[in-house]
Structure 1
């Protein structure tokens, strides 16, 4: 599917629509001008003794409107635009397959887990009433496990949107040791934001006291950051014009809110990204390959839905790679405990079953399919990722 071709076709239709709109407006403006001219003449007749035959005036207006031919012009513009739209629609139908059911495999899902994923996703997005309604309808009371901490997270984030850091600071203080264990400097960043707020709204003494009380414990590992904040004290009332003006940017709040969300999920032992969104995004990336495979297999009158493994790799982005997977370049089989990856002396890696087939015997030598070197099964070693 060539997306550039589709984009070019869309741009052409867009330009044609804009041109059609412009010409249609011109036609309407002409009709309005002629009508206003006729009304002006009629008004002149009523205000003066100069008599104008009303029938003659209407006849002239009718003739001029017939010359313009607004209906015919607008109809022609509509036809031209429809031609472009029809061509673009056919191109879309040719490029995209509206029926994606052929790429669907009848897999037995654990409905209990699916319901939990959906409910947790609703709570993740802050739709707590909708999540409760869903949980009640599917009778999945266990899905509410994360509701309470997520309510707290959304309450903290909502307060931060209002420039209130107290809930966030209380949560960070309560989880101080856990944040240190995972190497997070979130608590320091929250105190930095609070310091800037005090410096802008309060006095230099208040800001200095805040540093001494709340930021001094971080001095051993974050001296440069604290020195930078100390220097900000010299620019009281002029921080916008200081070398440290970037700390006033709203982006700083957004970054800290994003990091708080990530650390919150990490302490919960959950992924920052919604599993439901991740699964759907991966499916969208893999869908074109699956649809193409379905069409090819159908043309060969072969059934692929019952296959344990796909005959072609489905390439996904690095954001969907959560653990190492090895697929044998010869057999295209995914490595398992019974069929592990084997490192050959030449450095190439094949699955054990492929090596056994190539050697035909545990003592015979065989040639590597990717280089001229030869080896025996005994020389190959299991490889662990």
Structure 2
């Protein structure tokens, strides 16, 4: 993102804005405020400082001035404008998970519902990455944040420095699949997913557990084994009292050229190739229980298992990640356990977090884990 000048701290004006806002809320929409002279006397301020505060509150639709008549409380004092931002790279790319489209639809539906029942309006924006991969805020969003016409931001995939720039302007922000300073960040509880998967495989009698997940950046096995997901898998095994076999933890190792190629990072392709490499090679170490931490990888692996004549549930116990309502793996999980995240829950937690922030109108740092649920294989 381009360098943007940070707002100057104007403590006196901020305090005055809060006091004026409190008076406006007490009087209610369309009510007349005290005169400029009275406000200056009661709030111990100057006309210049008061005028600066009134300009800010007018931009935020809290107050308005009418020439020769005075200052009035805006009829929109309780109205909130919320911008919803999506990382554009999550759409339209080959091999991208359908969860992003599911979140887009569910957020749009929730915004439409709230627009009809709450004093809120929503704007939707796609942030298109530039040639360097960084994303730029749309101009209308920048202007809305700088003038406080936008009261909050709800985002998917938003990262620093954009997040920090938003909250530095005093705008509350809720983010899923992103991170930033003074932002409420939702994330999938990956460690709980690991624990549920390992415990389920142990209950099914498995002792040599494998773990597969997609690789987007590692160009060596040593680098791959340092991923946080591998460490969490080791922790889950230790908690369950099971041994860790590093040779059973696998992902496609990419060349530097493949790292820059979107086609090489297609998760289904990685799952398909992993299954062929591990179960198509008699000399390769094999697990008796396998956790696949991405439903797209599982999708590719199942195609290879079918080619190899490998039957999930009989020849190999499998636990897979999945997203509730996703068409990926449709009708193919009856013989495996599923550790499932619910996009509807993600959206509801995002909006409830937004409500909490709007009550305080102050950006806050907070990390909220979304918990998975386990769905066991169907009885046969």
Q: Which TM-score tier does this pair reach, normalised by the shorter chain? A: under 0.3
Which of the pair is proportionally richer in helix? 1
User: Which protein shows a greater Rg?
Assistant: 1
Which of the pair is proportionally richer in strand? 2
Q: Which has the higher contact order (CA 8 A, sep 6+)?
A: 2
